[in-house]
Structure 1
Amino acid sequence: MRLSAKMSPTHRFTVLLLAVGMFLTICPRAEAYIDAGSGSYLLQIAIASLLGASLALKSSLANFKAVLLRKRAPKSGSPENEGA
């Protein structure tokens, strides 16, 4: 049996938080820089995420509306379906 199967979600979160905290305090400082194009890339990701979410919302609302407003199909013996 795995040890993680016995742990509660709160305990797992505490262990994860301690591990991340230890990692951040033990590791040496990184000498890195942010590329000039990074801001442009992050802006592109944000815009694409917003557009994708709006299209997904529009599609799901259209499907939900179609289910709510679904009309019954006319019966086959009704005069509306009989051709000339």
Structure 2
Amino acid sequence: MLRDATHWDEVVTKLGYEHLRRHDLRHTGLTWLADAGVKVHDLRKIAGHASLTTTQRYLHSNEQSVTDAGALLSKHLRRSPSGPQLRAV
């Protein structure tokens, strides 16, 4: 873990990632946690944000995440006999 921010530029240059900012890692880390299924309320606590709105700005869903969310909803609705039924068109 890199705790000494004074050496950040030196380290990323040596690795060939001069464009990388420490803040970018927060966005990536929170997005990966969300993709792993961590709830947004928990992500807010992990990030130390006061509001969910701030946390949501950090998350960058990809097309697969959106597709997976739709599949989860469809699975849930199929299990619920009294709920609406979805049909593929």
TM-score by length of 1: 0.26
More helix by share: 2
| Structure with greater contact order relative to length (CA < 8 Å, sep ≥ 6) | 2
Q: Larger Rg: 1 or 2?
A: 1
Q: TM-score, normalised by structure 2?
A: 0.25
